Structure 1
Amino acid sequence: MRWITQDLPGEVARELFAARDAGAGEQQQTAILARALGHAYFREWGRRAHGLHVTFRDVEFVDFSIG
């Protein structure tokens, strides 16, 4: 299990809400979040792991806050 605490830019929240409002399912919303986490957390905003593909699955808990 991996615990990830990561700040993501507001564009990600806007993309998630827009997808939800357009009727996107959980799979599409999860793909948006995986892409954002891959870029921010694993690739450090483009500084490493350039070819890494991130799959976000078997999620047990997610907590979001706007700050």
Structure 2
Amino acid sequence: MITQYLSGEVARELFAARDAGGGEQQQMVILARALGHAYFRDGGLRAHALGIAFTDVEFADFSID
């Protein structure tokens, strides 16, 4: 289980993709990129060449703080 803060920009991208008719796959790409940058790449400080992809998400929970 990963708990990670993602910026408001990510939420804007997700809503824009949804509003433009983007499907779940497009939203998964946005989330994978954002999670990869924030969690695995430590905001761009490490693992620059690491590729991130969601392949089997069972549960996602989002909240606005």
Query: What TM-score do you get using the length of structure 2 for normalisation?
Result: 0.98
Q: Secondary structure at the match of 1:45?
A: helix
Give the match for residue 18 of structure 2: 20
Deviations 1:17-63 (A, max 9, x none): 00000000110110000000000000000111010000112100000
Map 1:1-67 → 2, pairs under 5 A: 3-67=1-65
Structure 1: where are the runs of 5+ without partners? none
CA distance in structure 2 between the partners assigned to 1:4 and 1:49 by the alignment: 18
Identity of aligned residues (%): 75
Structure number with higher helix proportion: 2
Structure 2: where are the runs of 5+ without partners? none
Structure 1 runs, 4 residues or longer, greater than 4 Å off: none
Query: What TM-score do you get using the length of structure 1 for normalisation?
Result: 0.95
What is the aligned length? 65
CA distance in structure 2 between the partners assigned to 1:57 and 1:35 by the alignment: 13
